[in-house]
Amino acid sequence: MRINFPTWLTLFRVALLPVMVVVFYLPFRWAPIAAAVIFALASITDWFDGFLARRWNQTSAFGAFLDPVADKLMVAVTLFLLVQVHPTILLALTAAVIVGREIGVSALREWMAELGQRKRVSVAMIGKLKTVMQIFAIIVLLLEHDRDAALLRFWRVGETLLVVAAVLTIWSGLYYLRAAWPLLRGDAEPPAGA
């Protein structure tokens, strides 16, 4: 298997994950900024690898598999880190909604792919909007995660953005569920051979 440049970018994103975890816990004043920059860099490579793969016609089965895995790992692990340092009901609930939806939609897409109906649950604009909102929320929360409660100037902004992302997460999850609903109910027959 030959790995192309867009797939190397995806692998780079996966490699950034343990780096971000270590940086998150470093006892230095610059650590929150560095963790946020690492997460932002990973988010940029997420857009860039897909763009280059399509532009250069370098899509691959391995890249198509790895890209969503890398995305979900980065978001889930970062949310777990944030909940661990700020174990509030609001943050834990929004993180659970976001991670739970990712698992559910991934399972739905896998099942639909087995039926030859993956295009019914391909990424929609609401899903992209949800992703952008999540990225901004997590970057703000990473920047603020180690401040004293009295200094959490933007933490509430980050929490609010994450709640909005959770609402969009539910909305997009329902969008995908609705697209798959005829097959889930058995109202539509899967194509022959599926």
Kindly report, residue by residue over 77-123, the tens digit of the pLDDT.
999 999 999 899 999 999 999 999 889 888 877 777 776 666 666 66
Which has the higher per-residue pLDDT, 185 or 103? 103
Q: Please report, rounded to a whole number, the percentage of residues in the chain having pLDDT higher than 70.
A: 86
Please identify which residue in the block is written with the tokens 């933490």: 155
> What pTM does this model have?
0.84
Which has the higher per-residue pLDDT, 166 or 63? 166
Task: Please check the confidence at residue 150 and state whether its pLDDT lies above 60.
Answer: no
Alpha-carbon distance of 102 to 105, in angstroms, equals 5
Give the pLDDT score at 187.
63
Other beta carbons less than 10 A from residue 160's beta carbon: 13
CATH of domain 5-183: 1.20.120.1760
The residues spanned by each domain of the chain are: 5-183
Alpha-carbon distance of 127 to 35, in angstroms, equals 25
Residue type, 38: I
Give the pLDDT score at 189.
57
Cα–Cα distances (Å) from 24 to 38, 78, 88, 176, 188, in that order, read 10, 9, 19, 34, 48
Task: Please check the confidence at residue 42 and state whether its pLDDT lies above 80.
Answer: yes
Give the pLDDT score at 167.
93
